[in-house]
Amino acid sequence: MNTIRCKKGFTLLELSVSVLIIAVIILILIMVFRSNLATFKWGQEHMEFNQKIQLVMKQIFTDFKQVNPILRQDEDGHMFLQGEKIGDLFPNLVTIFDKDKNPENGGEEVAFFLTTFTNMNKRDHVRYFIDKNELIRQKTDHDGNVKRSVIAEKASDLYFSEDPGDIRQIKIKVTLTDPKKSERSEKIDFAVRLETDLVCVKTVREYD
């Protein structure tokens, strides 16, 4: 006995419901994709800004860690460290300039010498300050050649201050703004301790 099988097709209503379900699924996938893309883009931009902050901190930290006593030579050819001899009151100074003469917030500029024990003539004078909302590192070598580097494009509220509890420690504060997102800014507050003796930190209330 032969069995007769009937093939039943989809009705218009069933097709419509199927198309609607597929459309909803596609719409959800598009929304999830766009959301993930926006999150990825935000994370990438935020990561780039954080990397810039780390580079600024690293540059300042590295410079301060390289501050050494100044090596000198007297008329007899004897080598000594500046500030080492009795009566020599001029060791290598990290000078903080308080331009607004407000001791509560520290100084707006810092200057110091970077020296080397292998070459007494190699003495770079380094300054950090803000000019036109840019954080500037200015280096002047022994021959008077000046090189300016922009450490951060948008910076404000730069302050250096002594630490009353540690004469070899310098506190640094600065506010950095993301060049791509002006509403995004970070207040950086950290400290660096000098590695050696015969280096003094001095605050000057008047800027010359």
Q: To the nearest whole number, what is the mean pLDDT of the chain?
A: 82
Residue at 100 is within a domain: yes
Tokens matching residue 30 = 């598009």
As a whole number, mean pLDDT of residues 47-61 equals 92
List the alpha helices (DSSP H) in the chain. Answer: 12-65
Residue at 36 is within a domain: no
Find residue 101's DSSP bridge partners: none
Report the percent of the chain where pLDDT is more than 90.
Answer: 36
Q: How far is CA 182 from CA 36, 43, 54, 107, 176, in A?
A: 23, 16, 19, 25, 10
> How far apart are alpha carbons 100 and 72 in whole angstroms?
35
Which residues fall within 8 angstroms of residue 177, CB to CB, at 6 or more apart? 154, 155, 156, 184, 185
Residue at 193 is within a domain: yes
Task: State yes or no: pLDDT of 160 exceeds 90.
Answer: yes
Indicate the pLDDT class of residue 73, thresholds 50, 70 and 90: low
3-state secondary structure (DSSP) of residue 128 = strand
Residue at 108 is within a domain: yes
Residue at 196 is within a domain: yes
Residue at 85 is within a domain: yes
How many CA within 13 A on the CB side of residue 204? 13
pLDDT tens sequence across 39-53: 656 566 678 888 899
Residue at 199 is within a domain: yes
> How far apart are alpha carbons 110 and 151 in whole angstroms?
15
Going by C-alpha positions, the residue among 163, 187, 183 that lies closest to residue 174 is 187
Q: How many domains does the chain have?
A: 1
> Which of residues 181 and 122 earns the better pLDDT score?
181
Going by C-alpha positions, the residue among 86, 95, 103, 97 that lies closest to residue 200 is 95
The whole-number pLDDT of residue 44 equals: 67
Residue at 30 is within a domain: no
Whole-structure pTM over 0.85, yes or no? no
Please answer whether residues 168 and 201 qualify as being in contact, where contact means their C-beta atoms are separated by less than 8 angstroms.
yes
Give the structural domain span for 136: 45-204
